[in-house]
Amino acid sequence: MSIFSKLVAKTDRGLATRASYEHFLAVKEKVEAASYNELGRLIVYKEDVKITGHGKIVVVSAGTADLPVAEEAAETAALMGNEVVRLYDVGVAGVHRLINNRKVLDEATVLIVVAGMEGALPSVVGGIAYKPMVAVPTSVGYGANFGGVSALLAMLTSCASGITVVNIDNGFGAGYAASMINHVGRNI
């Protein structure tokens, strides 16, 4: 926990991923302004993070089981100076929920799409929204999803163009990559 306090002593922001509430309590003793995102399992410290990205990053998740990874991506992107919009529980099992939010997708500069099971959501989103996308397979889902490998393979072989795929459950990597795309031509 001393690493986190040393980090925030030198900068206006800090992020610890995959952190338990017990980790947070230990950090909170040294960094009072730290907060905990229970869903994303993140310890977050930010003073006055200014929006420096070019537009909106929209984080889309298929189902509620994908929310921890989606929150990790959203918090990472926000901490890196981006306006972040969350669009959760809009998977292909109820595709009308996605279609009903077409305007939100169209207003995005970059999309982060998080899905488990068969990993179909990035292909569907890529077919209706012409935006750079970072796809994140998750290790959750019913049946034989092989710990996220089936979703990973589906995303890697998607016929939709412009999809970058990060590793299974890598919300941090997705948030970071989307931020880099959203900051093209600007320093972070």
> pLDDT per residue over 139-167, tens digit each?
987 767 788 999 999 999 998 988 999 99
Q: Residue 102 corresponds to which tokens in the numbers above?
A: 């077409």
What strands lie across the sheet with 108-115, from one edge to the other? 83-87, 56-61, 108-115, 133-137, 163-165
What is the fold, at CATH topology level, of the domain defined by 56-182? Rossmann fold (3.40.50)
> pLDDT per residue over 95-148, tens digit each?
899 999 999 999 999 999 999 988 999 999 999 999 999 999 999 877 677 889
> pLDDT per residue over 9-38, tens digit each?
888 889 999 999 999 999 999 898 999 999
| Domain assignments of the chain as residue spans, ordered by start | 2-46, 56-182
CB 121 within 8 A of CB 141: no
168 Cβ contact partners less than 8 Å away, ≥ 6 residues apart: 137, 138, 139, 147, 148, 149, 151, 152
